Amino acid sequence: MVPELQTYNSKSGRTAASQPAPPPATLSIALWCARQGWPVHPLAPLRKTPAANCRDCRRPGHRHRECPCIRGDRWCHGFHAATADAGRIRGWWAQQPGFGVGVACGPAGLVVLDVDAHETPLPERDRLLPGIPIPPSVSLRGLEHGFHSLALLAALRDAEDPAQDSSTLRVRTPSGGLHIWYAAGPGHAWRCSSGSSPGRALAWQVDVRAHGGYIIAPGTRTTAGTYEAVGSVRRPAPLPYWIAAELARTGHRPAPPARRDCAPRVPQRAREAVLAAGGGSRLLQATLTTVLAPVLDCAAVAEGAGFNDKLNRAAYTVGGLVAAGHLVATEAEAALVAAAVHARPGQERDARRIVQSGLDAGSRRPLRLGDRG
């Protein structure tokens, strides 16, 4: 269970006599998710699937876009009806306290890697890591499930295995799998996929839950067991650059609508620094813009945005790009400082200290850029 949601004795289901009866556990989970800014929708009691539509919404040809139920605050059509409105959520759970909790990934700005551990035969070599050839000379002995294929992909990219990423929210599933939650970042609407798909896929037995899909909230219980958060972290970390690059490589990025890029949100000083650091490479400029986005977003939040941590993370990533020879150190530092000063005016001295520390740490782990643009 998420610690904030442990409101009563799970064995007895009772509270002290002087305390009012607690809300249903899943309602507490749903409200906790809503406070994180993650729209939720009900799942059928003890199941992984959305609660059933009303009779009218089950008619053939009926679509959510024209449905009055969503406008009428009903839960029909699964994640399409997801909301962060506490009043609506309480109303739904008042009708069915046994609902489970689904989180709509797209509106929540989430990308979740759903790692399976099913005992199934290995696919052909070209299906293990789509787009990455694995020659016959490479032994696949011991490769049994999604944890192994994801670890292999990370190793090929000289990156940390996401399943071991203790900086982000991870949720153990009842079947022995793992959900690894990441924040997609502004302007990114990554697409869902199945690890067994012959088309778009990241890795064998690794599904991607993103725009157009949902994920089960930690603490939700099904007939198979409970989705349990791992460790103490309860917030998703920013999506690592190398994973974003792999998602783009494997077709998870939709065709962008007109002017959905990040450039208009980057202030002038930072934009000029990004252009200088990118050296004419659109990929490098886009990469820097993505890395700086969480720092720039702090400008809209005076306190409690985790600014120092986000700036340090960005500097660490940029340090890896500098160490690999993709960026010039002085220009990369200028871009980081410009973003920091935009978010926290008057704190340039502290920002430079954090930037330098992050760059130094990141320089010890060069990041490879799959396509230098």
Q: How far apart are CA 367 and CA 241, in angstroms?
A: 9
Which range, 58-67, 75-84, 362-371, is most confident? 75-84
Q: How far apart are CA 195 and CA 212, in angstroms?
A: 16
Q: Which of 102, 118, 148 is the last residue of a domain?
A: 102
- Is 211 inside any structural domain? yes
Q: How far apart are CA 173 and CA 179, in angstroms?
A: 7
Please give the backbone phi and psi of residue 274, each rounded to the nearest 5 degrees, phi first. -65, -45
Q: Which of 102, 119, 143 is the last residue of a domain?
A: 102
186, 297 Cβ separation under 8 angstroms: yes
Strands (E), the chain: 40-43, 100-104, 110-115, 170-172, 178-183, 206-209, 214-216, 221-222, 225-226, 228-230, 237-238
User: 239-291: per-residue pLDDT in tens?
Assistant: 998 998 899 888 888 644 433 343 435 556 656 656 666 555 677 777 778 88
Number of separate domains in the chain: 3
Assess whether 229 and 321 both reside in one domain.
Answer: no
Residue 98 CB contacts under 8 Å (≥ 6 apart), including other chains: 24, 26, 45, 46
**Alpha helices (H) along the chain:** 25-35, 68-71, 86-95, 105-108, 125-128, 146-156, 241-249, 268-278, 282-297, 307-323, 329-343, 348-362
User: 153-181: per-residue pLDDT in tens?
Assistant: 999 888 999 999 999 999 999 999 999 99
Assess whether 91 and 132 both reside in one domain.
Answer: no
What is the largest distance, in Å, between two alpha-carbon atoms of the chain? 69
Assess whether 91 and 120 both reside in one domain.
Answer: no
Strand partners, 21: none
Look up residue 269 and give its two tokens.
């000083």
281 is in which domain, residue-wise?
Answer: 263-362
Assess whether 120 and 63 both reside in one domain.
Answer: no
Assess whether 113 and 216 both reside in one domain.
Answer: yes
User: 286-332: per-residue pLDDT in tens?
Assistant: 777 888 888 887 776 655 567 888 888 889 888 888 888 888 888 88
Residues of the chain by 3-state class (helix, strand, coil), percent to 5: 40, 10, 50
- Is 255 inside any structural domain? no
Look up residue 365 and give its two tokens.
């782990």
302, 345 Cβ separation under 8 angstroms: no
Q: How far apart are CA 190 and CA 251, in angstroms?
A: 9
Assess whether 145 and 244 both reside in one domain.
Answer: yes
Burial of 248 per CB tally in 10 Å (0-12, 13-18, 19+): middle
Assess whether 41 and 83 both reside in one domain.
Answer: yes
21, 12 Cβ separation under 8 angstroms: no
Return the higher-pLDDT residue of 346 and 11. Answer: 346
Q: Enter the DSSP assignment of 82.
A: -
- Is 82 inside any structural domain? yes
4, 31 Cβ separation under 8 angstroms: no
pLDDT tops 50 at residue 8: no
Q: Which of 85, 102, 119 is the last residue of a domain?
A: 102
pLDDT of residue 356: 92
Assess whether 234 and 275 both reside in one domain.
Answer: no
Assess whether 123 and 244 both reside in one domain.
Answer: yes
41, 75 Cβ separation under 8 angstroms: yes
- Is 371 inside any structural domain? no
